[in-house]
Amino acid sequence: MSNSQISSVRRQREKKKRQLQQRQTQLKHHWALHQAKQQATQMGLKGAQRHLSRPRGMSELDASVLDVMLEIWSRRGTFAPANLANIFLQQTESVSYADYKQALMRYLWTAIADEDGLQPLRQKMQETLDQLWPDQDRKKVDLRLKLRTCNRLISLITTQGYPYPSPMFTLLAVQEQYDVFGLILLRLMLLSRPSYQCFADAIAALREYYDKLKNSKSQWIVHFLEAFQLNISEYLDRSFDQKNKFKPQNHE
């Protein structure tokens, strides 16, 4: 490759990076306004609803993506993602790996509708967990097993390590069950923060795959994945900071 070709590739990469940063900034702004509008709607504040009508620059595509984001993040009380994760972590702190895997399935599917179309995913997740390191089943679950287990499930519903969607992601995409996809991933990430790299690599592979297809459905998925990754990253940062806010500091 000549120097001019190398320079051209670098310029294209820099341009794509700038476009992504601009896109993320725009998504943050739209997400904040979208949340405010939803809260105003729930409270019946008609004046606020008019004031918070779709902001300039928000497309139908962005609005539909953000609606799915709200489905994922709008749960409150016991079923709020962070609260549910904390309860699970407390209840499984000293259990065996076999019991942990069974509890994990119940946790991941809590308050998710028992629809026929989701049964293949539920069954595949159960089969995957049953087959994971059975020689460890009687041992107390540790951080290493938690990490590997979460990574395996993240892989199952994203790419399974390949540069294209896994059968389970395709199943959810065909049914447009993106809220279920997002909710399960969010719940896994709240249990295993070190799994973020596995998650980020899989999302990057999915985005690259669908970005090449150029049809409207694929572009919607790309936008959804961008918004989801941005929101989950910020949510995890806030959750992590909150957990450590009141931890005693060692002063030497």
pLDDT tens track for 1-37: 666 656 665 666 566 556 555 665 666 655 565 555 5
End-to-end CA distance of the chain: 55
Same domain, 88 and 178: yes
Same domain, 84 and 28: no
Burial of 160 (0-12, 13-18, 19+ CB in 10 A): middle
pLDDT at 251: 36
Assess contact for 158 and 169: CB atoms under 8 A: yes
Bigger pLDDT: 142 vs 12: 142
Number of domain units in the chain: 2
Interval 108-128 mean pLDDT: 94
- Domain assignment of residue 77, yes or no: yes
Q: Measured between alpha carbons, how far is residue 207 from residues 11, 29, 117, 171, 204 in Å?
A: 21, 22, 24, 17, 5
Same domain, 46 and 67: no
- Domain assignment of residue 144, yes or no: yes
- Domain assignment of residue 168, yes or no: yes
Least confident of 62-71, 76-85, 93-102: 62-71
Same domain, 83 and 189: yes
Which domain covers residue 48, as residue numbers? Answer: 23-55
Same domain, 29 and 80: no
Tens digit of each residue's pLDDT (9 = 90 or more) over 37-76 = 555 555 554 444 444 444 555 567 777 887 788 788 777 7
- Domain assignment of residue 38, yes or no: yes
Same domain, 169 and 82: yes
- Domain assignment of residue 9, yes or no: no
Same domain, 113 and 168: yes
Same domain, 133 and 157: yes
Interval 199-213 mean pLDDT: 95
Same domain, 68 and 45: no
Same domain, 208 and 123: yes
Same domain, 212 and 123: yes
Same domain, 172 and 222: yes
- Domain assignment of residue 11, yes or no: no
Question: Any alpha helices (H) in 52-192, and if so which ranges?
Answer: 60-73, 81-91, 97-108, 119-131, 143-156, 167-174, 178-191
Joined together, the tokens standing for residue 125 give 């997740």
- Domain assignment of residue 162, yes or no: yes
Q: Residue 143 pLDDT > 70, yes or no? A: yes
Distance CA 93, CA 86 (A): 11
Assess contact for 188 and 150: CB atoms under 8 A: yes
Tell me how crowded residue 215 is: count the other CB atoms within 10 A of its CB.
Answer: 9
Measuring CA to CA, which residue among 212, 250, 219 is closest to residue 64?
219
- Domain assignment of residue 40, yes or no: yes
